Amino acid sequence: MTEVDGARQVFSANQRFYEAFERLDIRCMDAVWRQDEGVQCIHPGWPRLVGWPAVRDSWVRIFNHTRSMQFRIADVKIAVTGSIAWVVCTERIKMVMDEEPQETQVLATNLFVRSDGQSEDSRWLMVHHHGSPVLRRLPETPITDDETADR
């Protein structure tokens, strides 16, 4: 496998994650994750979840409370080293939750592990998702006009 092949496969695995999320379909989400005690998930603002049963339950709960969800994934940066890959990206999200339309932006770190027993299309399985909200201003330090222009 070349490095480019690896990055392409990981890009697809990352897309499958967001497709499952957008479809609010737990069976699609099941296919994205490695289903063992080692996986972890941090939803924006939530406490950390450890192990597949807790992670899966969180998706079921989110899907149950969400009527629709649209993702635009931007600034995707992929690194592949051996059988591990990590993706950092921006999730631009439009959603309807408990009848209320919302627009929000989340920064995500997604880790995938290659599982050689799988077919090429599904061999990269998610083992960690960390999503966190983006605020508009830096909390620790004032922003100059120049810096504001960059955002």
Among 31, 42, 73, 76, binds a second copy (CB under 8 A): 42
User: Shortest Cβ distance from residue 72 to a second copy (Å)?
Assistant: 16
Size of the site for a second copy (CB under 8 A): 43
If binding is defined by CB under 8 A, does position 68 make contact with a second copy? no
Whole-Å CA distances, 37 to 26, 50, 54, 114, 127: 18, 7, 9, 17, 10
Among 100, 139, 144, 145, binds a second copy (CB under 8 A): 139
Distance CA 126, CA 106 (A): 18
- The amino acid present at 58, given as its one-letter code, is S
Distance CA 151, CA 66 (A): 29
Closest by CA position to 68, among listed 46, 95, 33, 108: 95
Residues at the contact surface with a second copy, assessed by CB under 8 A: 38, 40, 42-48, 50, 61-62, 64-66, 75, 77, 79, 81-84, 86, 88, 90, 97, 107, 109, 111, 113, 127-128, 130-135, 138-141, 151
